[in-house]
Amino acid sequence: MINATLLLMILLLPLAAAVGIVITRSNPDVRERVTLIASGLIALLVMIMASRFMGGENFALNVFEPLPGIAIAFKVEALGMLFALVAGLLWVVTSIYAIGYMRGHNESNQTRFFAAFAVSISATMGIAFSANLLTLFLFYELLTLATWPLVTHAGNEDARQGGRVYLGILLGTSIGLFLLGILVTWSLTGSVDFEPGGILAGHIDPAWAGLLYALFLFGIGKAAVMPFHRWLPAAMVAPTPVSALLHAVAVVKAGVFTLLKVTMYIFGGEFILTNDVTGGLIWVAAATILIASMVAMTKDNLKARLAYSTVSQLSYIVLGTMMASKAGLIGASMHIAMHAFAKITLFFAAGAIFVATHKKLVSELDGLGRAMPVTFAAFFIGTLSIIGLPPFGGMWSKWYLGLGAVETTQLVLLAVLMISSLLNIVYLLPIPIRAFFGKPSGREHYTEIAEAPRPILLAMVITSAACIIFFFYPDPFYQLAGLAAGGN
């Protein structure tokens, strides 16, 4: 009973916060307090939930039954717990950051911004805790819709155009392919529940399983597998806190998380391995990793470069997922967490630079490091974690992904991972290096420029510290990832 209440609270509290934010719109200080309190509570609640979950407690809840045999139902399992933990912990950090950013930048429509943000978190939690594909799909679409006003926040033609691409690709793939995959699954098995070991084995001709898997792989547009990745760079017109939490963590991770769930609990790792379901598709992910990295190198706009880096990193997770071996799945699950903390740090830094200097291009950052040491130090740490060097958390997920590649004896995949790490170095590392050691171009002497407002710095310090902490102490994520992958 307590457990069900806890589950419900995590789902509903952000929604209640959204209502509170709208009600208190006339007083920004109170409004921001609502955000902070709600996000703080959520962080606390997911931690309580995680500790109870590790203690063996069960969380399950059925709400409605809109279609016979398919309920809107929630059930917490290890992978969902991991995802909820990441999103819940980072919401509070991002809230601190967002308040500093939105005020520092004098953005308009802040009430809509914070309210939509809260709804997005609720949708993310719904995805994390879904007990079946229908529930997951419901929140998946809700997340798309709730983040749309955030993408189009600026309201100018660029933002509207970005919003169109965003909505077009995400809704298009989800309705055209993902929903079709769900319906085919339903018509084959008469069930859409997530079951350990999968539900499809014995119901589908293995020859067709690859096609069905392709429906999911491309239908889950949030995983940004090429050629359906364009929405992510398009979403970068949003204010930076949105890019940071939603388009480096919540939305994109919801995509790969969904794919992981489908792989583990609909297909089943065993089924995939014995029938080689993903044999051909795995190269799509490998290609995405490499192509997106190369595109990232060509981008001078910092946020665009980070976006393509995200596309590439997401396909690490997709790759690990499709390996379907234990190490691959552990690596994929852990990368959800590790990439989240590193990438959010990078976006925080990009936003901080923008607020302090209004600079968006990588080529303008030479020498800025001396004026903004904290920002660029955080950026440096994030970069190293993304590359996967010790002593940063990113190393662990890459380690397991590499291990997975070795296990599948596909050494080409291992090579892809290695090359991509090198590419990461090429497109990310020069940024902090040029900032610290480069010379400002022209006559600019960054004497007037100081660090971004304090809430922004605080948020960056927290997440970059987390990158280091998770190297020494990856246990919570490792245990959850192991529990999730252990089902095979």
Partner 1 sequence: MGNQISLLLVVIPLIAAPIAAVLPRGRLPWLLACVVASVCAILAGVQLWNVLNEGTISYELGGWQPPWGIEYRIDALNAFVALIVAVIAAITLPYALLSAEQEIPEEKIPLFYSALLLCLTGLLGITQTGDIFNVFVFLEISSLASYALISLGKDRKAFTAAYQYLIMGTIGATFYLIGVGLIYSETGSLNMQDVANILPSVLHFRTVETGFAFIMIGIALKLALFPLHLWLPNAYTYAPSAVTVFLAATATKVAVYVMLRILFMLFPQGFAMTTPAEELFIVSGIAGIIIASVYAIYQSNIKRLLAYSSVAQVGYMVLGIGFASVAGVTASLIHLFNHALMKGALFMAIGAIIYRIGACRMEQIHGLGKAMPWTFGAIVVGGLSLIGVPGTAGFVSKWYLVSAAIEQQAWISVAVILFGSLLAVVYVGKLIEALYFKPVSDTGKAVREAPMLLLVPMYSLVFANLYFGLDTDLTVGVAQQAAAILGGIGQ
**Which residues bind to partner 1, rule: CB under 8 A?**
64-68, 72, 134, 137-138, 141-142, 145, 152, 155, 159-160, 163-164, 167-168, 171-172, 175-176, 179-180, 183-184, 186-187
Residue 329, Ramachandran bin (φ over 0: left; ψ between -120 and 50: alpha; else beta): alpha
The one-letter amino acid code at 132 reads: N
- N- to C-terminal Cα distance for the chain? 30
Please name the residue that has the structure tokens 């007037």.
448
Least Cβ distance, residue 209 to partner 1 (angstroms): 16
* Torsion sign over Cα 166, 170, 171, 176: positive
- Max CA separation in the chain (angstroms): 71
Cβ-based nearer residue to partner 1, 149 or 432: 149
Least Cβ distance, residue 50 to partner 1 (angstroms): 28
Cβ-based nearer residue to partner 1, 188 or 406: 188
**192: helix, strand or coil:** coil
Please name the residue that has the structure tokens 């710095």.
457
Q: How open is the CA angle 456-123-355, to the nearest 5 degrees?
A: 20
Cβ-based nearer residue to partner 1, 160 or 454: 160
**What are the CA-CA distances from residue 390 to residues 151, 293, 381 (Å)?**
35, 21, 11
Least Cβ distance, residue 212 to partner 1 (angstroms): 12
Q: How open is the CA angle 464-467-469, to the nearest 5 degrees?
A: 110
DSSP label at residue 174? I
- Measure the CA–CA gap between 160 and 166, rounded to whole angstroms: 10
Cβ-based nearer residue to partner 1, 186 or 446: 186
* Close Cβ partners of 352 (under 8 Å, ≥ 6 residues apart): 372, 375, 451, 452, 456, 457, 460
- Measure the CA–CA gap between 241 and 464, rounded to whole angstroms: 16
Strand partners, 72: 64
Specify the DSSP element, H or E, that contains 66.
Answer: strand 60-67
Least Cβ distance, residue 66 to partner 1 (angstroms): 5
Q: Which two tokens stand for residue 15?
A: 């929604």
Least Cβ distance, residue 195 to partner 1 (angstroms): 21
Least Cβ distance, residue 93 to partner 1 (angstroms): 30
Nearest to 102 by CA among 459, 462, 461, 486: 459
Least Cβ distance, residue 63 to partner 1 (angstroms): 8
Cβ-based nearer residue to partner 1, 8 or 297: 8
Cβ-based nearer residue to partner 1, 54 or 138: 138
Least Cβ distance, residue 230 to partner 1 (angstroms): 16
- Measure the CA–CA gap between 236 and 143, rounded to whole angstroms: 16
Cβ-based nearer residue to partner 1, 164 or 359: 164
Least Cβ distance, residue 125 to partner 1 (angstroms): 16
Cβ-based nearer residue to partner 1, 139 or 348: 139
Least Cβ distance, residue 64 to partner 1 (angstroms): 4
Cβ-based nearer residue to partner 1, 72 or 90: 72
Nearest to 386 by CA among 442, 434, 343, 448: 343
Cβ-based nearer residue to partner 1, 152 or 263: 152
Please name the residue that has the structure tokens 């880096």.
309
